[in-house]
Chain A
Amino acid sequence: MKPITELIKDLADLHGRDRHSLLPILQGVVEQEKYLSEYSMIEIARELDLPATEVFGTATFYSFLEYKKMGRYIIRICKTITCSMKGEKQILLAIEDMLKIKVGETTPDGSFSLLQTNCLGFCHKAPAMLINNDVYTELTPEKVREILSEYLNRKNEGGQDVN
């Protein structure tokens, strides 16, 4: 993990320092940090010579650019119509029960955050969820417990990230 100021500089070198480089830079920071801290938004503003309010205003428009501290793995469960018809609630309950957190919360060790999201585009394989950038479909409570156990093991072994 790079220090945040260095990361922002590198991203600006890569994407440029124009306004239209803002989104890729924000995405790059979220990719590593999982969220945008106030500090990183101010740093981005400085690097791109933009008002910090513009950076904040833009970042907070997008639901995948979190601005509250998030866990290492962000679980996003689709709640749109087909997923909700095909048992999204049971999946949510299974995860809440296993991780002991509610929607919008992060586990105390900072590993998992649980969120709901709008249509992921897997309606034919509902219910679906994202863990960071990986998609899991046709979920059942059993299946979701298995998937999460795998992530938990990985975490306990101190092993590598999936992404």
Chain B
Amino acid sequence: MSTNYQLKRADFIFKDENDWEEVLKNNINRPPNELINELISSELKGRGGAGFPTGLKWKISAEEVNDVKYVICNADEGEPGTFKDREILSKVPFKVLTAIAICGHVIGAKIGFIYLRGEYFFLQTELNKAINEFEYYCREINFDFSIKIFMGSGAYICGEETALFESMEGKRGEPRNKPPFPSSFGYMGKPTVINNVETLAHTYTIFKYGSKRFYDLGVQYSRGSKLFSVSGDTPKPGIYELELGMSLADFVDEFGDDDTKAVQVGGASGFLVPRKRFNETNIGFQGKLVGISLPTGGSMMLFNSSRSMFNVLDNYLNFFAEESCGQCTPCRVGCQQLLRGIKAVKRGEKNAQYLDKMLKLAETMQFTAKCGLGQSVANSFSSIVENFREEMIY
């Protein structure tokens, strides 16, 4: 990993390229294997935050034998501090539609869905117009593929892929056990590729320019560029496409307000990095913070010294307690207990050692919760409590 990595802007996703017809036509005439290899050699990893290699995902689904398969674009963008997917769908919808269709060609699916969160209802009209135009062109070139929008109704957990399938099947959005994985048993029990909006938009770049162009960006293990949603105490909130692998210190130099005390990387389910660790933290799939990976859904929230980290944690825990689907006990009860616990410590009803008990509870949730929501509560809880213990007590 390089350390003194400067911020490098990239401009692929929002680049105005009016050539989707050409990209679609060229690529649906290429053999699926070639396209899969192109993706694999680009080393693109899922941009929703989990970072699963996209090429591998497509490959597994392509190898499944089934008459019916599905492609789903996950636009249930609910992570606090993330707002890039909406921007992609409103500015460059045809890139995403083209990528969905190419994925359909690769795995052998005839139907694609966009699961759009209820909060983005206003996008629906424009997006439907784009879909109509897109499907019209598909018919013109005799490519049998259709895309439908499925609206969510205000449940954060439905961004979890299996909860999303449940929701589309008309049920409560409760995550399923894994395995089986979506690639073999997804929506309606059929092999399904489900990708984040941004991941699909990157595949457009890769199929258009070739994998090398993408691979040359970023650093080892973290190839390519990524959209970052920047918010909080910053003079320039917004969406920025940057190469992966930058150090958090460089990021704060660019986006901070000279008083940045901490940065929350990856939204409420991500990690809080305090000032003293900006230098040693890199943004990418191989961060130094936890030794393995620093989640990079792209949410970057900056906090300056006027903010109370107790309030921040209180806000996150309220969020999780409300959005927990309630299916498994560690998450349902855990979120509520953590919330009550930090309030009790703050009021002096519990002593400071109670925080250590709660850290253990968070760890238990990490190991025992059924899905990513319950497992990731510990990320923000532990990183805030460990780094700002005094603020929790006094």
Chain A contact residue count (CB 8 A cutoff) = 36
A85 adjacent to B307 (CB under 8 Å): yes
A80 adjacent to B319 (CB under 8 Å): yes
- Assembly CA distance A57 to B170 (angstroms): 11
B237 at the interface (CB under 8 A from A): yes
A-B contact count (CB 8 A): 119
- Assembly CA distance A18 to B231 (angstroms): 42
- Assembly CA distance A122 to B231 (angstroms): 9
Partner of A124, one of B77, B229, B307, B322: B229
B232 adjacent to A82 (CB under 8 Å): yes
Contacting residues of chain A (23-45) with chain B, CB-CB under 8 angstroms: 23-24, 26-27
A4 at the interface (CB under 8 A from B): no
**Chain A, residue nearest B239 (CB):** A124
B 261-282 binary contact with A (CB < 8 Å = 1; else 0): 0001000100000000000000
B83 adjacent to A23 (CB under 8 Å): no
A113 to chain B, nearest CB (A): 14
For A133, list chain B residues within 8 Å (CB): 121-122
B 153-175 binary contact with A (CB < 8 Å = 1; else 0): 11110000000000111111110
For A64, list chain B residues within 8 Å (CB): 118, 153-154
B 73-113 binary contact with A (CB < 8 Å = 1; else 0): 00001111111001000000000000000000000000000
A58 adjacent to B307 (CB under 8 Å): no
- Assembly CA distance A58 to B268 (angstroms): 26
B83 adjacent to A123 (CB under 8 Å): yes
Given contacts A26-B153, A124-B230, A126-B231, contact A81 B169 (CB under 8 A): no
A20 adjacent to B121 (CB under 8 Å): no
- Assembly CA distance A133 to B325 (angstroms): 24
B119 adjacent to A61 (CB under 8 Å): no
- Assembly CA distance A134 to B239 (angstroms): 21
Given contacts A58-B170, A134-B122, contact A81 B315 (CB under 8 A): yes
B238 at the interface (CB under 8 A from A): yes
- Assembly CA distance A21 to B232 (angstroms): 39
A117 at the interface (CB under 8 A from B): yes
A84 adjacent to B81 (CB under 8 Å): no
A62 adjacent to B307 (CB under 8 Å): no
Of A79, A85, A135, chain B has the most CB atoms within 10 Å of the CB of A85
Partner of B315, one of A23, A24, A84, A125: A84
B79 adjacent to A119 (CB under 8 Å): yes
B151 adjacent to A23 (CB under 8 Å): yes
- The 12 listed contacts between A and B (C-beta, < 8 Å) are A19-B169, A20-B188, A23-B168, A58-B171, A58-B172, A62-B173, A80-B319, A81-B80, A118-B322, A121-B117, A123-B229, A123-B232
Chain A contacts to B: CB under 8 angstroms: 18-24, 26-27, 57-58, 61-65, 79-82, 84-85, 117-126, 130, 133-135
